[in-house]
Amino acid sequence: MGAPPVPRAAAAGPVGRVRTDAVVREFVARAVAADPPAGPPPPHGRVAALTEPLAGLLGRAPGTLVTVRVPRPGTVPLVIRTWRGEPEILRALRGLLPVPECLAAGEGYAVHSHVDGSVLADVCGPGKPVEGPLLRDLAELLAAVVQVRAGALPPRPAHWPRNHTDSQGFLRTLALLADQQLRRPEMLRYGGLFTALGVPEDALARFADGVPALTRRPYGLLHGDLHRGNLLLPGAGAAPLYCLGWEQAGYGDPLHDLAVHLVRMRYPEHQRGEVVEAWAEAVHRVRPAATAGLSRDLPHYLAFEQARSGYADVVRAVRALEESFGRERLDEATATVGDALRAAAGPLRLGRVPGAAEIGRILIRRGASGAVPRGTGPARVIGWTPDRRVPEHPDFPRAAVDDALFLEGAAPAGRVFKGAAHLNTVLRVPGTPFPVVVRREAAVVLRRETGFLSEHAVLRAIERSGVPVAAPRVLALGKSHATDPALGYRGDRFTVHTYEGARDLGRRPEHPVDGLRPHEADCLVDQLAALTRVDHAPLDPLGGPPGFYAWLSDQLVALVAGLPGESRQLARFLGLPDAPRLREILARHRVTDRDPALLHGDLNPWNLVRRDDGPPLTLIDWEMALIGDPLYELVRHMHLTPTRPEIRDRMFRRWEARLAARFTEGWQRDWRVYRWIELVRSAYVDLDRLVTGAGLDAPNVRRAVDSYAMTLAAATASLGLSSRRHGSPRPVWPTAPGGPA
């Protein structure tokens, strides 16, 4: 950055520079400390009159008005920066565009020439149309910005695209810069909050990877933040419009500036097309190639701006809530966060956006966790009511539960995990020698497959039995609520379990997403065998449904009959039978009656946690537990988890050897029926997820729907039907031991 313009005598040598800096700092300090003038604050800084000796040092007459700019205390700019600061941009643009002159700048301050006038926001507020000559002047200003070429600007960073017509490379660079400069610096403080809200850590990186080929356009100067507060309508005799606020200036595809302008100006919907047309006409006159591919490529830049704004708007809303926590601020923050997430949902592929009640609960937990500065109001704690079905645990007394709920809201991103149905927060509670996880329902979950047993009861039964099944222990169960009824917080249920991930909480849990290793396969089979020794009578006095296959078929038929109309209609279109026809097909098969046992019910890879201490695998998420045929558990696991033929054969052999004969009789004939019914189930369940968007932010659900074409083809083939959109492939499973598939 160059030195501020000063008389030669003052600038001669370090002494002159030190003296100038001291004089400027004293002037800035006095200007900031002075009583603010009546009325609204001036745009972009405090207006002050130059005094001696600064006027002489700057080559201006005493009394000349200047604008003093200093950052507001405690604010962190949520912006993408190309260059170090605004002063070097203003100096480069002096004489090229109507911008203020930077007279002096230093660490934490700048002194600009003052331009008398009104910002557009005061004359024409957000949501109002910009009409007539003013819209034409605005389009001409944007066209003038586009004409500034690279030679007039400071050097770009090394990571900037070298080809100055590469629109695709520029948009990718923008997305990666947003991830590096906007998201990552806030992750330590707000990472857990974003995870709780359903925003994946890699959302911007995935956006960058998904940028399609764009029309090549010549690069030009970009303002980067041209909204109503950065446009100044000066007095008579001056340029039509002045551009203020150049901190986010860059050099790249002109469509980016247009997209930013459209989003941040908040034009009424009916005027957006008129603004685009005025921009295209003005830019085409001075640089025709800059408008190429406008209608096709502009939506991609609009999507990026919505994604970028989503992060910034959420952080700003939460910071405002931290400054003053109360019902009104909470409602404002909840609305702002909800709007930001809905706008960013498409570009960031968020799936389900939480509703206002869920967002409010998340924000309250964050406030109670100590994110609100002390001294700003009464202490807020998360009160809770224990569920008497789970008595106080000797290893985790009530005071420890209090601490866990207090710490939950401020957990970092690496300790917050959001699945299809639950928000899980991993914590170290003072005085507790082991980590714990607080589990909450993420929302009212659209879950077609329902559970039949209470998870806490199942885990307590396993713990009491003493069998070698690696599962979490239930430490607490209850309903949390706010101590301040004025916040309007209804409360929600939670469970505290022992945490079964890695000892190092900085590491994410590792799951066998690509299949089990041999020793892990052995471990899982051994635990399934141990489950047969758990006394399940207290869980289900009837000992499970009689005729397990018939009961399982009834459950699947009921699931299909209960699908929403749109899902059922699409299923018929794709060749899947309706519920009555499915019942007829399922009734053709018979399965041997085997003794029932306790089953996990959903052994997909994300419910298996790899451990570096103790058993190789821990089984988590027991909400789908049931009493039934142990063969079904093993076959369903193989359906949900990539299983190599040699691992499958190994598991079947070990399973038959470890379990008593009353649990394994006739399995060679029956496993194919369970394999078949799970293929059919997945065809309906995954189709419904695609239609409704339910659970798409969970990794197991994403993988399932990404391979839906294969699932549909396999299911229709196994049903003896032909898919209307796919051929009938070979069976997707190889031959099992004991006979052909």
Angle between helices 294-323 and 272-286 (to 10 degrees): 120
Q: Residue 462: give its domain's CATH number.
A: 3.30.200
Q: Is the pLDDT of residue 156 over 90?
A: no
Alpha carbon separation from 603 to 303, 502, 545, 597, 629 (Å, rounded): 37, 19, 21, 15, 15
Clarify whether residues 276 and 128 are in a common domain. yes
Question: Are 67 and 47 spatial neighbours (Cβ–Cβ below 8 Å)?
Answer: yes
Q: Where are the beta strands (DSSP E) in 483-592?
A: 492-498
pLDDT for the residue numbered 546? 78
Highest mean pLDDT among 283-292, 433-442, 692-701: 283-292
> Residue 610, class by beta-carbon neighbours within 10 Å (0-12 exposed, 13-18 middle, 19+ buried)?
middle
Distance between CA atoms of 94 and 59, rounded to whole angstroms?
17
Domains of the chain: total:
3
Q: Is the pLDDT of residue 533 over 70?
A: yes
Distance between CA atoms of 413 and 425, rounded to whole angstroms?
9
Amino acid at 724: R
3-state secondary structure of 412: coil
Alpha carbon separation from 334 to 43, 202, 368 (Å, rounded): 28, 24, 16
| 272 located within any domain | yes
3-state secondary structure of 452: coil
pLDDT for the residue numbered 216? 96
Clarify whether residues 107 and 140 are in a common domain. no
Q: Is the pLDDT of residue 1 over 60?
A: no
Question: Are 250 and 178 spatial neighbours (Cβ–Cβ below 8 Å)?
Answer: no
pLDDT-derived band at 41, boundaries 50, 70, 90? low
Clarify whether residues 333 and 445 are in a common domain. no
Clarify whether residues 217 and 291 are in a common domain. yes
Sign of the alpha-carbon torsion through 715, 717, 722, 725: positive
Helix (H) or strand (E) holding 297: helix 294-323
| 525 located within any domain | no
pLDDT for the residue numbered 323? 78
| 375 located within any domain | no
Question: Are 109 and 251 spatial neighbours (Cβ–Cβ below 8 Å)?
Answer: no
How remote is the C-alpha of 707 from its chain's centroid? 23
Clarify whether residues 108 and 177 are in a common domain. no
Distance between CA atoms of 67 and 47, rounded to whole angstroms?
5
545-561: pLDDT as tens digits: 778 999 999 999 999 99
pLDDT for the residue numbered 708? 81
| Residue 463: partners with Cβ closer than 8 Å, 6 or more residues away | 471, 473, 474
| 277 located within any domain | yes
Highest mean pLDDT among 70-74, 312-316, 521-525: 521-525
Q: Is the pLDDT of residue 13 over 70?
A: no
Closest CA to 17 of 6, 25, 28: 6
Clarify whether residues 191 and 260 are in a common domain. yes
Q: Is the pLDDT of residue 623 over 50?
A: yes
| 91 located within any domain | no
Structure-model confidence comparison of residues 364 and 64, the more confident one: 64
Sign of the alpha-carbon torsion through 178, 704, 416, 523: negative
Q: Is the pLDDT of residue 655 over 90?
A: yes
Last residue of a domain, one of 509, 530, 545: 509
Rounded mean pLDDT, 183-207: 87
Distance between CA atoms of 471 and 275, rounded to whole angstroms?
60
pLDDT-derived band at 378, boundaries 50, 70, 90? very low
Structure-model confidence comparison of residues 514 and 116, the more confident one: 514
Structure-model confidence comparison of residues 559 and 487, the more confident one: 559
Clarify whether residues 330 and 201 are in a common domain. yes
3-state secondary structure of 609: strand
Question: Are 45 and 68 spatial neighbours (Cβ–Cβ below 8 Å)?
Answer: yes
Q: What angle do CA 283, 298, 152 make, to 5 degrees?
A: 45
Q: Is the pLDDT of residue 634 over 70?
A: yes
Place of tokens 């592929």: 349
Alpha carbon separation from 241 to 69, 268, 367, 730 (Å, rounded): 20, 21, 43, 69
State residue 27 phi and psi, 5-degree precision. -65, -45
Beta bridge partners of 98: none
Structure-model confidence comparison of residues 290 and 233, the more confident one: 290
Last residue of a domain, one of 80, 114, 148: 114
649-654: long-range contacts, CB 8 A cutoff, minimum separation 24: 649/736, 649/737, 650/518, 650/521, 650/522, 651/521, 651/524, 651/525, 652/736, 652/737, 652/738, 653/737, 654/521, 654/522, 654/525, 654/526
Closest CA to 514 of 653, 699, 323: 699
Clarify whether residues 140 and 233 are in a common domain. yes
Clarify whether residues 277 and 418 are in a common domain. no
Could you give the percent of the chain with pLDDT greater than 70?
85
| 527 located within any domain | no
92-136: pLDDT as tens digits: 998 899 888 888 888 878 888 888 888 888 888 888 898 888 899
729-739: pLDDT as tens digits: 333 333 333 33
Rounded mean pLDDT, 636-651: 95
Q: What angle do CA 240, 263, 350 make, to 5 degrees?
A: 165
pLDDT for the residue numbered 191? 86
| 287 located within any domain | yes
Helices and strands (H and E) in the chain: how many:
26, 19
Cis peptide before 394 (omega within 30 of 0): no
Last residue of a domain, one of 484, 509, 534: 509
Amino acid at 450: T
Q: Residue 195: give its domain's CATH number.
A: 3.90.1200.10
How remote is the C-alpha of 628 from its chain's centroid? 38
Average pLDDT over the chain, rounded to whole? 84
Structure-model confidence comparison of residues 353 and 368, the more confident one: 353
Clarify whether residues 231 and 161 are in a common domain. yes
Q: What is the rounded end-to-end Cα distance, in angstroms, of the chain?
A: 74
pLDDT for the residue numbered 238? 61
> Residue 535, class by beta-carbon neighbours within 10 Å (0-12 exposed, 13-18 middle, 19+ buried)?
exposed
Distance between CA atoms of 89 and 99, rounded to whole angstroms?
10
Clarify whether residues 251 and 327 are in a common domain. yes
Place of tokens 């080809």: 163
pLDDT for the residue numbered 285? 95
Structural domain of 208? 121-350
Q: Is the pLDDT of residue 289 over 90?
A: yes
Structure-model confidence comparison of residues 506 and 166, the more confident one: 166
Highest mean pLDDT among 10-19, 115-124, 165-174: 165-174
Distance between CA atoms of 229 and 43, rounded to whole angstroms?
8
Alpha carbon separation from 641 to 77, 81, 451, 690 (Å, rounded): 45, 44, 20, 20
pLDDT-derived band at 259, boundaries 50, 70, 90? very high
Q: Cα dihedral angle (652, 654, 656, 662), rounded to 10 degrees?
A: -130
Question: Are 140 and 97 spatial neighbours (Cβ–Cβ below 8 Å)?
Answer: no
Beta bridge partners of 220: 252
Clarify whether residues 436 and 476 are in a common domain. yes
Distance between CA atoms of 474 and 393, rounded to whole angstroms?
8
pLDDT for the residue numbered 596? 95
| 191 located within any domain | yes
Angle between helices 294-323 and 254-265 (to 10 degrees): 50
